[in-house]
Amino acid sequence: MGRISDSRERIVRASARLFLSRSYGAVSVDELCAAADVRKGSFYHFFPSKAELAKAVIDLHTQGLLAQLSAASGASAAERLRGVADAVGAIQTRFESKYGRIVGCPFGNLAAELSTLDDSLREHLAAAFARWEREFAVLCRQAQADGALRDGVDPDRLARSLLALAQGQILLAKVEGLSAAGIPAALRDLIDVHLREGEA
């Protein structure tokens, strides 16, 4: 069945790194290849285009995100919700120490730059966001079932707000050059204000 190789994986990992530290458009395929120690012909053996590579990078980040989210634990749904707020912060903190500064959300960065340019890439990103939102929604519905949410709070809308707020806070931290430390705090604020008075 022919030769085996980890070239594809090297390309995706190097691209994830370079896209984060700069941007999709600012990194050329040549540079990607050099960073992955692969020649251009090999690149186009694995990916029909630079845009298809971006989808693979999105999938890699989705894996990492889901792993981090599933590590969030807690006795109550409300506590697990705070746990995912911290998980998002943990990812950003990891990026921050790896790149020396906040570099933004991998999904958000690509979404802002590319979703008006490539419709199939936009849909791929939309699916990644939907996956992420679903993780939040499960916990929000559990919190509601536990009676932890204030009256009138729609758990699905709360989940979406959490996702949107995370995106916005990460973007602001990036543009203002702040640290990642403030991000989970802001998300916890949003969670807490939706909990019934007296809920831990």
Partner DNA sequence: CCGGATGTTGACTGACTGGTCAACTACTCG
Partner DNA sequence: CGAGTAGTTGACCAGTCAGTCAACATCCGG
Q: What residues make contact with its own copies under the rule CB under 8 A? A: 21-23, 25-26, 101, 103-104, 108-109, 111-117, 122, 125-126, 129-130, 150, 153, 157, 160-161, 163-169, 171-172, 174-177, 186, 189-190, 193-194
- Residue 144 CA, chain-centre distance (Å), reads 25
Cβ 44 to DNA, closest distance in Å?
4
CA atoms of 53 and 46, how far apart (whole Å): 9
Q: Which does 181 bind (CB under 5 to 8 A by kind): DNA, its own copies, none?
A: none
Structural contact between residues 173 and 183, judged by C-beta atoms closer than 8 angstroms: yes
Structural contact between residues 191 and 77, judged by C-beta atoms closer than 8 angstroms: no
Measured at the CA of 40, the angle between CA 36 and CA 41, to 5 degrees, comes to: 125
Residues near 167 by Cβ (< 8 Å), separated by ≥ 6?
A: 105, 108
Q: Which of 9, 22, 39, 150 binds DNA (CB under 7 A)?
A: 39
CA atoms of 25 and 195, how far apart (whole Å): 42
Q: Which of 21, 23, 35, 44 binds DNA (CB under 7 A)?
A: 44
**Choice between 29 and 186, CB closer to its own copies:** 186
**Choice between 27 and 58, CB closer to DNA:** 27
Longest CA–CA span in the chain (Å) reads 64
**Which range touches DNA (CB under 7 A), out of 39-47, 82-90, 146-154, 185-193?**
39-47
Q: Which does 36 bind (CB under 5 to 8 A by kind): its own copies, DNA, none?
A: none
**Choice between 8 and 196, CB closer to its own copies:** 196
Cβ 29 to DNA, closest distance in Å?
4
Cβ 118 to its own copies, closest distance in Å?
10
Which pair of structure tokens corresponds to residue 150?
A: 């204030």
Cβ 175 to DNA, closest distance in Å?
21
Which pair of structure tokens corresponds to residue 73?
A: 């634990």
Residue 171, CA distances (Å) to 17, 40, 60, 66 in order = 18, 33, 21, 20
Q: Fill in the per-residue mask, 1 to 30: x = in contact with DNA (CB under 7 A), - = not in contact.
A: xxxxx-xx------------------xxxx
